[in-house]
Amino acid sequence: MSAATPETRSVRVLRVGEQVRHVLSEILMRGEVHDDLLAKHPVSITEVRMSPDLRHATVFVKPLLGENEEAVLKALRTNTAFLQKEVASRVRQKYAAKLKFLTDESFDEGTHIDTLLKAPKVAQDLSPDE
């Protein structure tokens, strides 16, 4: 068996991250976490970034409608042990990944950029010269 190249390792890291994202989304969608706050606030798992050794997973989340982000993040962090156990049992890896939950700020950044681009002063510079 040949040694893994950096390319195959990075593909594996991406694949495992996507598997973890899918499993977490399924757990939350089915209401398997017994938490009233998470039951009332649908959460989107937007991305999971795995460490190269697959031992750590940074999970980016966004509550739908962007409501109660801090409370939802706290509820996810409170239930981390349960979620880690479930992910470990459903994503077969040598080590169970430690989950770290963060709010996905990319939507807010995109909205901010969109707002800036639509500002009259910027829009006039972007329009073709007449």
Task: Give me the CATH number covering residue 86.
Answer: 3.30.300.20
- Which of these, 77, 78, 100, lies nearest to 17 by C-alpha position? 100
Which stretch, 38-42, 66-70, 84-88, 110-114, has highest mean pLDDT? Answer: 84-88
118 in a domain, yes or no? no
Please state the domain count of the chain. Answer: 1
Quick check: is 114 in a domain? no
Pairing state between β 43-50 and 98-103: unpaired
pLDDT of res. 108: 57
- Which domain, by its residues, includes 62? 6-104
Region of poorest pLDDT, from 25-29, 36-40, 79-83: 36-40
Read off the pLDDT of each residue in 38-61 and give the average, rounded to a whole number.
94
Among 21-30, 36-45, 51-60, name the one with the lowest average pLDDT.
Answer: 36-45
Question: Is 109 among the domain residues?
Answer: no
Structural domain contains residue 127: no
Q: What is the mean pLDDT of residues 9-30?
A: 93
- Residue 5: per-residue pLDDT: 61
3-7, 16-20, 107-111 — most confident range: 16-20
Let me know if residue 15 belongs to a domain: yes
Torsion of CA 68, 70, 76, 81, to 10 degrees: -160
- Residue 129 resides in a domain: no
Q: Where does the pLDDT of residue 2 fall: very low under 50, low under 70, confident under 90, or very high at 90 and above?
A: very low
Assess if residue 25 is contained within a domain.
Answer: yes
